[in-house]
Amino acid sequence: MTSEDLPYFVLFIVWSVVIASFVAIRRRIEDQLLDARGRLQSELEVSRQREDEIRGLNQTLARRAAELEASNKELESFSYSVSHDLRAPIRHIVGFTELLQKHTFSSLDDKSRRCIQTILESAKRMGDLIDDLLAFSRIGRIETKMTFVSLELLVKEVIADVGQDLRDRDIIWDIKPLPVCYGDRSMLRVVIVNLVSNAVKFTSKRAGAKIEIGCVDVNENEVEMFVRDNGAGFDMEYSDKLFGVFQRLHLAEQFEGTGIGLAIVQRIIVRHGGKVRAEGMLDRGATFYFSLPKARDATTNRIASIL
């Protein structure tokens, strides 16, 4: 190699190094791409497996939901049928016991009269329980007819009806302004009747009975109505039992009732997409709350569905 060839040789070496570097970089990039492709394929396979699992879980959940709905309908039908079929025998017991009491009253001693009276009272109480159970079952069978409902007019209507039986009582009514909501008017009337009747009943032993009815905005979509009284109240430790069927926190000797009114209230409000809750203290009164969709949101939704 001569001195004249040296620059060409150096240039050749430099280009060789550059080309080798490019080849090495290309191979490294290709290897990285292959690795990334392999990882993507693995992640895609895992994602497909998870989608299959989720699809299977959704199908299982849908099947179980359908089975639960069918079971609930069967149980509801059974409850309705049994309650309906029991009414006739109970009426027979009451009717024949009253006849027996009428025709043999003078010939019976005090103990026998008390026994007959106990049979009558128990049979009538059983009849009330059956009637309330039928009412509870009907709530799930009645179709909900959603309309705009003025809670203020509905409350005034209920108080006027309840007040006809309260002429000997002095109750202070504090009715706040109430909004228009969206719901089934007949069902909501049952809710208010039950809550107002409870307030009237549990303030029966209070000299200065006071019942307050009002509402508060929960959020932009819901309004929460409340019925507050200064009556017997309840222990919050047992508040979870309030809305159960035939659950009572007071003795029957203290306050009459079957213990199903609040269960009906909860069932109706849940069908409206709302919630119920209660606050209270023993001998310090109680407050019952229930939430409903606002009328303006219902109007917006209806317009949106039309468009």
Residues in the chain: 307
CA distances, 84 to each of 87, 90, 232, 263 (Å) = 6, 11, 34, 19
pLDDT band at 236 (very low <50, low <70, confident <90, very high): confident
Q: Which domains, from first to last, does the chain contain?
A: 1-141 (1.10.287.130), 147-300 (3.30.565.10)
Q: Mind listing the pLDDT tens digit for each residue in 67-103?
A: 777 766 666 666 666 666 777 788 888 888 888 888 8
Tell me, what's the pLDDT at 176?
Answer: 92
| The pLDDT of residue 163 | 77
Q: Is 223 helix (H, G, I), strand (E, B) or coil?
A: strand
Q: What is the pLDDT of residue 257?
A: 65
pLDDT band at 118 (very low <50, low <70, confident <90, very high): confident
Residues 5-35: tens digit of each pLDDT = 777 777 777 778 778 888 888 888 888 888 8
| CA 155/CA 175 separation, integer angstroms | 8
Q: Which two tokens stand for residue 243?
A: 């809305």
Lowest mean pLDDT among 36-50, 91-105, 123-137: 123-137
Nearest to 151 by CA among 161, 140, 162, 159: 159
Average pLDDT, rounded, for the chain: 80
Give the whole-angstrom CA distance, residue 304 versus residue 119: 60
Can you give the pLDDT at residue 59?
87
Rounded Cα distance, 256 and 198, in Å: 10
* pLDDT on residue 303: 30
Query: Torsions phi, psi of 184, nearest 5?
Result: -85, 115
pLDDT attached to residue 102: 84
- Number of Cβ within a 10 Å radius of residue 251: 7
CA dihedral 26, 30, 32, 37 (to 10 degrees): 160
3-class secondary structure, 14: helix
Tokens (6 digits) for 270: 């849940």
Per-residue pLDDT tens for 165-211? 777 778 889 999 998 888 889 889 989 988 998 898 888 888 888 99
Looking at residues 50-59, what average pLDDT do you find?
A: 88
Low-confidence winner among 41-45, 115-119, 299-303 (lowest mean pLDDT):
299-303
Q: Which pLDDT does position 222 carry in this prediction?
A: 83
**What is the Cα–Cα distance from 203 to 233, expressed in whole angstroms?**
9
- Report residue 24 as tokens: 């090495």
